[in-house]
Amino acid sequence: MNDFFQQTAQAEFQKASQQLPGAKQFQTALTQSFKRYDNLIAKTIAESPTKPACQAGCAFCCYYKVEVRAHEMLNIKDYLHKQLSAENIQQIIQEAEQNAVVIRSITPEQHLTTNLKCPLLHNNQCSVYPVRPYRCRNFHATDAKACEQSFADPANMDIATGMIETVALAADAHSQGFEAAIEQKGLDARIYDFNTALLEVLADESCLKRYLRGKKTFQTALEVS
Protein backbone atom coordinates (compact mmCIF):
# COMPACT_ATOMS: atom_id res chain seq x y z
CA MET A 1 0.00 0.00 0.00
CA ASN A 2 1.55 3.33 -0.94
CA ASP A 3 2.00 6.35 1.36
CA PHE A 4 -0.63 8.46 -0.38
CA PHE A 5 -3.25 5.74 0.06
CA GLN A 6 -2.39 5.20 3.73
CA GLN A 7 -2.34 8.91 4.56
CA THR A 8 -5.64 9.57 2.77
CA ALA A 9 -7.38 6.61 4.41
CA GLN A 10 -6.01 7.51 7.85
CA ALA A 11 -7.01 11.18 7.55
CA GLU A 12 -10.58 10.23 6.62
CA PHE A 13 -10.73 7.61 9.36
CA GLN A 14 -9.79 10.20 11.99
CA LYS A 15 -12.21 12.86 10.77
CA ALA A 16 -15.08 10.38 10.41
CA SER A 17 -14.37 8.91 13.87
CA GLN A 18 -14.63 12.39 15.45
CA GLN A 19 -17.96 12.95 13.73
CA LEU A 20 -19.33 9.61 14.91
CA PRO A 21 -19.66 9.94 18.71
CA GLY A 22 -22.57 7.49 18.47
CA ALA A 23 -24.58 5.53 15.93
CA LYS A 24 -27.27 8.22 15.68
CA GLN A 25 -24.81 10.60 14.02
CA PHE A 26 -24.12 8.27 11.10
CA GLN A 27 -26.01 10.33 8.50
CA THR A 28 -24.32 13.60 9.47
CA ALA A 29 -20.93 11.87 9.43
CA LEU A 30 -21.65 10.36 6.01
CA THR A 31 -22.79 13.70 4.58
CA GLN A 32 -19.59 15.36 5.82
CA SER A 33 -17.52 12.49 4.44
CA PHE A 34 -19.16 12.90 1.00
CA LYS A 35 -18.28 16.62 1.05
CA ARG A 36 -14.63 15.91 1.87
CA TYR A 37 -14.62 13.23 -0.84
CA ASP A 38 -16.00 15.56 -3.52
CA ASN A 39 -13.33 18.17 -2.67
CA LEU A 40 -10.56 15.55 -2.69
CA ILE A 41 -11.62 14.08 -6.03
CA ALA A 42 -12.07 17.52 -7.65
CA LYS A 43 -8.53 18.47 -6.52
CA THR A 44 -7.05 15.15 -7.69
CA ILE A 45 -8.69 15.45 -11.11
CA ALA A 46 -7.50 19.07 -11.44
CA GLU A 47 -3.93 17.91 -10.79
CA SER A 48 -4.14 15.04 -13.29
CA PRO A 49 -3.15 15.52 -16.95
CA THR A 50 -5.74 12.88 -17.87
CA LYS A 51 -9.40 13.70 -17.27
CA PRO A 52 -12.44 11.44 -16.85
CA ALA A 53 -14.74 11.12 -19.86
CA CYS A 54 -17.81 10.93 -17.58
CA GLN A 55 -20.62 13.41 -18.30
CA ALA A 56 -24.19 13.96 -17.13
CA GLY A 57 -26.54 11.77 -19.19
CA CYS A 58 -23.94 9.04 -19.78
CA ALA A 59 -25.07 6.15 -17.59
CA PHE A 60 -23.69 2.90 -19.00
CA CYS A 61 -22.05 2.20 -15.61
CA CYS A 62 -25.48 2.29 -13.93
CA TYR A 63 -26.17 -1.12 -15.50
CA TYR A 64 -23.24 -2.69 -13.64
CA LYS A 65 -23.47 -4.74 -10.47
CA VAL A 66 -23.81 -2.27 -7.57
CA GLU A 67 -22.95 -2.90 -3.93
CA VAL A 68 -23.84 -0.76 -0.93
CA ARG A 69 -23.21 -0.39 2.80
CA ALA A 70 -26.06 -0.23 5.30
CA HIS A 71 -25.45 3.42 6.29
CA GLU A 72 -25.53 4.43 2.62
CA MET A 73 -28.81 2.60 1.96
CA LEU A 74 -30.49 4.06 5.07
CA ASN A 75 -29.40 7.50 3.87
CA ILE A 76 -30.79 6.80 0.38
CA LYS A 77 -34.13 5.75 1.88
CA ASP A 78 -34.51 9.09 3.69
CA TYR A 79 -33.58 10.97 0.53
CA LEU A 80 -36.13 9.04 -1.55
CA HIS A 81 -38.93 9.76 0.92
CA LYS A 82 -38.03 13.47 1.00
CA GLN A 83 -37.49 13.97 -2.73
CA LEU A 84 -39.72 11.51 -4.62
CA SER A 85 -43.47 10.92 -4.76
CA ALA A 86 -45.04 7.73 -3.42
CA GLU A 87 -45.85 6.82 -7.03
CA ASN A 88 -42.22 7.18 -8.11
CA ILE A 89 -41.04 5.10 -5.16
CA GLN A 90 -43.54 2.40 -6.11
CA GLN A 91 -42.11 2.33 -9.65
CA ILE A 92 -38.62 1.97 -8.18
CA ILE A 93 -39.79 -0.93 -6.01
CA GLN A 94 -41.30 -2.71 -9.03
CA GLU A 95 -38.07 -2.34 -10.98
CA ALA A 96 -35.95 -3.49 -8.05
CA GLU A 97 -38.22 -6.53 -7.62
CA GLN A 98 -37.69 -7.50 -11.27
CA ASN A 99 -33.93 -7.08 -10.86
CA ALA A 100 -33.96 -9.09 -7.61
CA VAL A 101 -35.62 -12.05 -9.35
CA VAL A 102 -32.77 -12.09 -11.88
CA ILE A 103 -30.04 -11.50 -9.27
CA ARG A 104 -31.27 -14.36 -7.07
CA SER A 105 -31.29 -16.71 -10.07
CA ILE A 106 -27.67 -16.11 -11.16
CA THR A 107 -24.27 -16.43 -9.52
CA PRO A 108 -22.32 -13.34 -8.33
CA GLU A 109 -19.92 -13.97 -11.22
CA GLN A 110 -22.78 -14.05 -13.74
CA HIS A 111 -24.10 -10.83 -12.21
CA LEU A 112 -20.79 -9.16 -13.12
CA THR A 113 -21.45 -9.84 -16.80
CA THR A 114 -25.20 -9.07 -16.84
CA ASN A 115 -26.64 -5.64 -17.60
CA LEU A 116 -29.33 -4.65 -15.12
CA LYS A 117 -30.54 -1.06 -15.04
CA CYS A 118 -30.31 0.43 -11.56
CA PRO A 119 -33.88 1.13 -10.41
CA LEU A 120 -32.76 4.61 -9.32
CA LEU A 121 -31.68 5.56 -12.84
CA HIS A 122 -34.37 7.76 -14.41
CA ASN A 123 -33.95 9.38 -17.85
CA ASN A 124 -30.25 8.49 -17.66
CA GLN A 125 -29.86 10.50 -14.44
CA CYS A 126 -29.30 9.18 -10.93
CA SER A 127 -32.40 9.94 -8.79
CA VAL A 128 -30.25 10.02 -5.64
CA TYR A 129 -27.12 11.66 -7.05
CA PRO A 130 -26.17 13.71 -3.90
CA VAL A 131 -26.38 10.57 -1.74
CA ARG A 132 -25.26 7.89 -4.20
CA PRO A 133 -23.05 5.29 -2.50
CA TYR A 134 -19.27 5.26 -2.54
CA ARG A 135 -19.26 2.34 -4.98
CA CYS A 136 -20.97 4.58 -7.57
CA ARG A 137 -18.89 7.66 -6.69
CA ASN A 138 -15.64 5.75 -7.05
CA PHE A 139 -16.37 4.61 -10.59
CA HIS A 140 -15.02 6.73 -13.43
CA ALA A 141 -13.74 6.09 -16.95
CA THR A 142 -11.42 7.80 -19.41
CA ASP A 143 -12.82 6.12 -22.53
CA ALA A 144 -16.54 6.70 -23.09
CA LYS A 145 -16.56 4.57 -26.25
CA ALA A 146 -15.22 1.62 -24.28
CA CYS A 147 -18.06 2.10 -21.74
CA GLU A 148 -20.53 1.84 -24.62
CA GLN A 149 -18.77 -1.26 -25.98
CA SER A 150 -18.82 -2.86 -22.54
CA PHE A 151 -22.54 -2.13 -22.25
CA ALA A 152 -23.15 -3.74 -25.66
CA ASP A 153 -20.98 -6.76 -24.79
CA PRO A 154 -21.21 -7.19 -20.98
CA ALA A 155 -19.66 -10.67 -20.99
CA ASN A 156 -16.45 -9.29 -22.52
CA MET A 157 -14.27 -8.54 -19.49
CA ASP A 158 -11.31 -7.55 -21.69
CA ILE A 159 -12.76 -4.14 -22.56
CA ALA A 160 -10.81 -1.52 -20.57
CA THR A 161 -12.77 1.64 -19.83
CA GLY A 162 -9.69 3.31 -18.31
CA MET A 163 -9.17 4.84 -14.89
CA ILE A 164 -6.94 7.62 -13.59
CA GLU A 165 -4.66 5.95 -11.06
CA THR A 166 -4.43 8.89 -8.65
CA VAL A 167 -8.20 9.40 -8.69
CA ALA A 168 -8.88 5.69 -8.17
CA LEU A 169 -6.41 5.60 -5.27
CA ALA A 170 -7.84 8.71 -3.61
CA ALA A 171 -11.40 7.43 -4.03
CA ASP A 172 -10.67 3.97 -2.61
CA ALA A 173 -8.58 5.32 0.26
CA HIS A 174 -11.18 7.88 1.33
CA SER A 175 -14.13 5.49 1.19
CA GLN A 176 -12.18 2.79 3.03
CA GLY A 177 -11.19 5.31 5.72
CA PHE A 178 -14.86 6.13 6.33
CA GLU A 179 -15.88 2.46 6.32
CA ALA A 180 -13.12 1.65 8.83
CA ALA A 181 -14.54 4.33 11.18
CA ILE A 182 -18.02 2.78 10.87
CA GLU A 183 -16.60 -0.65 11.70
CA GLN A 184 -14.52 0.65 14.59
CA LYS A 185 -17.71 2.11 16.15
CA GLY A 186 -19.24 -1.36 16.09
CA LEU A 187 -21.72 -0.51 13.34
CA ASP A 188 -22.70 -2.72 10.41
CA ALA A 189 -19.95 -2.43 7.78
CA ARG A 190 -21.12 -5.41 5.68
CA ILE A 191 -21.43 -5.09 1.92
CA TYR A 192 -24.89 -5.80 0.48
CA ASP A 193 -26.33 -6.22 -2.99
CA PHE A 194 -27.94 -2.89 -3.95
CA ASN A 195 -31.30 -4.06 -5.34
CA THR A 196 -32.20 -6.49 -2.56
CA ALA A 197 -31.06 -4.04 0.14
CA LEU A 198 -33.16 -1.29 -1.48
CA LEU A 199 -36.24 -3.52 -1.39
CA GLU A 200 -35.68 -4.40 2.27
CA VAL A 201 -35.02 -0.84 3.46
CA LEU A 202 -38.22 0.38 1.77
CA ALA A 203 -40.29 -2.48 3.23
CA ASP A 204 -38.95 -2.91 6.75
CA GLU A 205 -38.84 -0.09 9.33
CA SER A 206 -36.73 -2.29 11.61
CA CYS A 207 -33.63 -1.91 9.41
CA LEU A 208 -32.74 1.40 11.08
CA LYS A 209 -33.28 -0.03 14.59
CA ARG A 210 -31.00 -2.97 13.84
CA TYR A 211 -28.34 -0.64 12.40
CA LEU A 212 -28.42 1.68 15.42
CA ARG A 213 -28.02 -1.32 17.73
CA GLY A 214 -24.94 -2.51 15.81
CA LYS A 215 -26.77 -5.55 14.43
CA LYS A 216 -26.87 -6.93 10.90
CA THR A 217 -29.11 -4.36 9.19
CA PHE A 218 -30.56 -6.45 6.39
CA GLN A 219 -31.97 -9.92 6.93
CA THR A 220 -33.26 -10.82 3.47
CA ALA A 221 -30.95 -8.75 1.24
CA LEU A 222 -28.04 -10.60 -0.30
CA GLU A 223 -24.76 -10.09 1.52
CA VAL A 224 -21.66 -9.81 -0.63
CA SER A 225 -18.70 -11.74 0.67
Question: Residue 136 interacts with ligand SF4 (CB under 6 A)?
Answer: yes
Question: Is the four-CA dihedral 87, 90, 94, 99 of positive or negative sign?
Answer: positive
Task: Please report, as residue ranges, which positions from 60 to 79 form the binding site for ligand SF4 (by CB under 6 A).
Answer: 62, 66
Judge whether 138 and 168 are in contact, CB under 8 Å: yes
Judge whether 93 and 99 are in contact, CB under 8 Å: no
Size of the site for ligand SF4 (CB under 6 A): 9
Residue 63 Cβ, how far from ligand SF4 at the closest point, in Å? 8
Binding track, positions 92-121, relative to ligand SF4; x by CB under 6 A: --------------------------x-xx
3-state secondary structure 27-92: HHHHHHHHHHHHHHHHHHHHHCCCCCCCCCCCCHHHHCCCEEEHHHHHHHHHHHHHHCCHHHHHHH
CA-based angle 166:135:177, to the nearest 5?
A: 65
In this chain, which of 41, 92, 128, 198 binds ligand SF4, going by CB under 6 A? 128
Residue 190 Cβ, how far from ligand SF4 at the closest point, in Å? 18
Residue 119 Cβ, how far from ligand SF4 at the closest point, in Å? 7
Instruction: Catalog residues that contact ligand SF4 under the rule CB under 6 A.
Output: 62, 66, 118, 120-121, 126, 128, 132, 136
